[in-house]
Structure 1
Amino acid sequence: MHLKSMSRQTKSQWDFGELFPAETARRVLTVSELTTQVKRLLEKEVGLVWVTGEVTNLRAQSSGHMYFTLKDANAQLNCVLFRGEAVANREVLQDGQKLVVQGDLTVYEPRGQYQLLVRAVELQGVGALQLAFERLKRKLQAEGLFAPERKRPLPRYPQRIGLVTSPTGAAIRDVLHVIQRRNPSLEIIFVPCRMQGDGAAEEIAEATRLLNEFNARSSRRKEAPTSEPDVRRPTSEIDQSLLTSAATRLDLILITRGGGSLEDLWAFNEEAVARAIFESAVPVVSAVGHEIDFTISDFVADVRAATPSAAAEIITEGVFASRQFVAEATGWMAQRLRQWLEREREYLEQLIQRLARAHPRRRLNEKLQRLDDVQSSLLRDVKYRWRECQAVWRNAQQRLLRMRPGHTWVCYRQNLLELDHRLGEQLRHGLKNARSRFDTLEARLRLLSPTNVLERGYAITTDAATGKVIRDAAEVKAGQRLKTRLKKGEIRSVVEG
C-alpha cells in the first residue's frame, strides 16, 4: 500500500496539465450561408415596403418578367416584376418614370444583391386638376376661409336642417335612411340640384344662398309675424314655397353627394361653392365622396364628414346619444367586434405574408430569374462568338485578296470545260437509251391496245345510255339500246328479245 501510494504521488508531481490552451473555437460561414442569413433577416425585419424613385435600366424578358432599377439622387434599388404577379399599371413602367412601388425586400442569392419583388405599382405626382385644386386651396387659405377660429359648432339637438344634394343620387337615400333610423322627427328642407357637370357648382352655390335667405326670412317672420315677406328672388315654384312657408329657422345646412372620381367631385372644388359656404350664416356640414376624398368645400365648411351617412350620424348624434343604455351597449359591442375583427384581420395578413415567403412559387420565381440570367449570358456568348467568326472571315478574305488567283482560275476553267464535255456525252447517251426504252414500251402498248384487237375482226358492244361494256347476253333486256364499235365506225341497235 505504501509503495502504491508513492507511485501515485510521483505521477501527480509531474502532471502539469495543458501547457498551451486549446485554440478558441470559431464559427466560419460559407458565402451561401451568410447570404441566406442576410436574406432571412431582410425579409423578417423589412418585409413588405413602399418605395418611391425613378425607373432606369428597364428590361422586359421574353419570359414575361420585367427587371428595372429605382433610383434617387443618392442610391438605387434593383426591382423584379414577375410575369405571374397580378399587378395593375404595368404599362407605366418606363425609363425615366417616377413611381411608387410596393414589394417584398429580399436577396437574390446567386448574385448576393438585395432586390425588391414588386407587388404593386402607382404613378407619382399630381395631374392638372390636382394642381388646380392645390392652387385654389392655397389662395383661399391665405384669405382665411379655412381658419379654425371661424368654424361654428353644430347644435346638439337640431330640429330643422337644409339638405343640398341630387334627388336621384345615393347620397339622399343614405342620409334619409340614417335620419329615419336615428332621429325620425328631424325636419328637412330639401333643395335639389345637380352634383356634377357644367353648371353644377353654380347650382350648389345658389341652393346654399337660397337656404340662407330662407333662414333670414324665417327669423324676420318670427320677429314680425303679421308682416308680409318681401320675395325678391323666386326662381321657381320650389323657391317660392321655401320663401313663404317658413315657420322656424334652420339649424344647419348639409351639402352632400356620393363618391366618384376627381372629375365627378370637381364642382365642390369651385371657388363659387367655397365662397357661398363661407358667406353662409347657417353652419354648413360638407359630406362629399368617401373618406379618402377631400374637396375645397370640406375645408371651408364648419364640419367635414367622411360620407353622407357619416354626416347624418353627426347631425343626429345628440338625439341618438340620449337613447337608452341598451342602444349604447349595442354600439359598444359592435365596436369591440370590429376591433376584434381588425386584430384577426391583421393576424391573418401576417400569416398570409409568412405563407407567401414560404410559398414554392417564391423559389420558382428565383429559379426563373436565374434562367433569365443564364439566357442573357448565353446570348452574350453567342454574340461574342459571332464577332470572332466575323473577324476570322475578314482575315481569310484579306489573305485571299493578297494571293494571285490567276493560275487557280486557269485550272478551274480547264476542269469546267472537261466537265461540260463529259456532261454532254452523258446527256446524249441518256437520251439515246430513253428513246430506245420508249420505242419498246410503245410497241408493247400497241399490242395490248383495243384498237389492235378490233383490227383482227372483233367488236366491242356497250350500253348506249351508260357506256357499260356488255360481256354477257344475260345483261341485256328487250328494248335496250346498244352501241357496237368496229374497226371502222359504230353500229347502233335495239334488243328485240
Structure 2
Amino acid sequence: MGKVAKHQWDFGDLFAAAQTRRVWTVSELTGQIRRLLEQQIGQVWVSGEISNLRLQSSGHIYFTLKDAAAQIACALFRSEAVARRDLLADGQKVLVLGDLTVYEPRGQYQLVVRAVEFQGLGALQLAFEQLKRKLAAEGLFAPERKRPLPPYPRRIGLVTSPTGAAIRDVLHVAGRRNPMLEIVLAPCRVQGEGAAVEIAAAIRLLNEFALAPVPERPRATGLLAEPPPRLDVILVTRGGGSLEDLWAFNEEIVARAIAASAIPVVSAVGHEIDFTISDFVADVRAATPSAAAEILTEDVFASRDFLALAPQRLTDLVRRRLQNCREAWERCWTRLHRAHPRRRVEEGWQHWDELHTRMQRALRNGWKERHTLWLHLTRRLYQARPWRQLQQHRQRLESLLARLRERVRHQVHLRRQRWETQRARLILLGPEQVLARGYSVTFEEPSGRIVRDVGEIRPGQLLRTRVHRGAFVSRVEDVQPPSAAAEP
C-alpha cells in the first residue's frame, strides 16, 4: 500500500507542474528577446570592418560588421539621412551608431544603422573623394584651364623641403640636362600638421616674386641692360610615401593656391602610382620629381643636340649650294655649246644618216612582212582542203555520239534509282506495313465504310476488322465513350 500511495503522489505532482508551467511560442520568445535587447542595450556605437555589402534596388543597404572574433548583421535603410552612404564598400573600417534589435522573421539580432563614421585610410580616402568631387564641380580640373609650359624656361620656382630627396633629384637632373637653369627655392614642410599651409604660402610667395615690378637699372653705353628673367614655372614636389605622408598635397588650401597661381604649375608628388589633388589642379602632372625636371628641361636638352649638329648641317648646306651652282654653270655651258653653228650642221648630217638607216630598215621589214604573209596564206590554203574538214567533222560527230550515249546511260541509271527509291517509300508508307506493326482497320458490315469514331457504331452491329494477315468479323457488345476507353 505504501508503494502504491507513493506512485499516486508522484503522478499528481507531475500533473500540477504541467498545469503551472508556461509554454512560449517562437514569436513570443523572439519578441521578448527583442524587447530585452532594445531596453537593456538600445543604441550603441560599434567599430568594425564592412563585409558582404549588398545594395538593394529599394535603396536599402545590408552589410556585416566584423572583427577578428565575431560579426553582426547591419541594416541601413533608405530613409536614414546618412552622409556618404555611396562610399560604403567591403573592407572599410567604420564606426557605426545603431539600434540593437532583432529581426524576428529570421530570429537574428542586428544593428539598424543611424550614423556612419569612416576610420583609418578609409576616412582619408573619403575626404580625398569628397574634395575631388567638389573641386571638379567647380571646374578646377577642367582641361581648358590648363596652361602650356614655356618651351625654354630660364628660371623656375621650387616648392619643396630643403632636406628631402625630391630637391636632390631635381637639382641633379636639371644640372645634368640644363646647367643654365636658375632655381628659386621656396622652402616649406611637405609632411605633418601645418605643412599644407606652408606649401600654399610658398606658392603665393613665388607668385609675388614673379609678378613684382623689376627695378630700373642704369643702361650701359650703347647697350640696353637686359632685365633679369621672370619666374617661368613653379614646381611643387616631394618624394614618395604613404597616403598620410602625402596628405598635405590633398588639402583644399594647396589646391586653391595652385589654381590661383598666375604662373604655370607642375605637380610631381610621390611615385608614379600616387595621385593627389594637386596633380589634378596643376597645369602639368609629372610621375616623379626626376620626371618633372626632365619635362622642364626637355626642349633645352633637345636643343643641345640640334646646336651640336648645326656646324655640320651648315657645312652640308654650303657644300650643297656650291654643287648646285656648279651644276647650273655646266648646264649653261652645255646649252652654249649646243647653240654653235657647226653643232647644227653636225646634227643635220647625223639626222640624214639616221633617216637613211631607217629607210633601209623599213625596206627590209616590208619584204619580210610580205614573205611572212605569203607563207601564212599558203598554210591557210593547205589547211582549208575538203578532206581535212571532212575528217574533223567526222571526229567531232563521233565525239558527240559518244557523249550522247554516255548521257543516255547516265539518265537511265538516275531514273532507275529514283524509281527504286519511290517504290521503297511507297511500300514503307503503304497500309500493309502499318498493319504489320500491329494496327488494324475496322469496316461496317455490309456497307464496308471505315469506322473512324466510336459514335458511328451501336451495340449488336456487325464489324469486319482487317489485320496484317487476314480479317475477322465481330459483333459489338458494348460502346464506351472516349473518356472511358482511355482508362486502363
TM bucket (normalised to shorter chain) is 0.3 to 0.5
Q: TM-score, structure 2 length as denominator?
A: 0.38
- Pair member with larger Rg: 2
Q: TM-score, structure 1 length as denominator?
A: 0.37
Higher relative contact order (CA 8 A, sep 6+): 1
